């Protein structure tokens, strides 16, 4: 599940060369897709943290 831009960037660029990702056009003009505005239950990560909005890099 895509949850963090920073973690996805490191995975695709350094840590896991088999992890291939492509930016969709919405990244450039519609940032709303990164928010869970309807509060859907997206489940939990293996460490127990609930998934919600995509975490942006600081």
The predicted pLDDT at position 2 comes to 77
Phi, psi at residue 36, to the nearest 5°?
-95, 70
The predicted pLDDT at position 51 comes to 93
pLDDT tens digits, residue range 17-48?
888 888 788 888 998 999 999 999 999 999 99
The predicted pLDDT at position 19 comes to 82
The predicted pLDDT at position 5 comes to 85
How far is residue 36's CA from residue 39's CA, in Å, rounded to a whole number?
5
The predicted pLDDT at position 4 comes to 87
Distance of CA 45 to the CA centre of its chain: 12
Grouping H, G, I as helix, E, B as strand and the rest as coil, residue 50 is strand
Q: How many CB atoms lie within 10 A of CB 11?
A: 15
Of the pLDDT bands very low, low, confident and very high (cuts 50, 70, 90), residue 10 is confident
Q: Which residues are paired to 44 by β-bridges? A: 50
């Amino acid at each position: 599940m895509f949850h963090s831009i920073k973690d996805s960037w490191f995975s695709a660029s350094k840590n896991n060369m088999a992890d291939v990702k492509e930016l969709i056009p919405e990244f450039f003009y519609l940032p709303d897709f990164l928010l869970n505005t309807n509060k859907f239950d997206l489940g939990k990560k293996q460490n127990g943290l609930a998934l919600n909005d995509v975490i942006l890099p600081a």
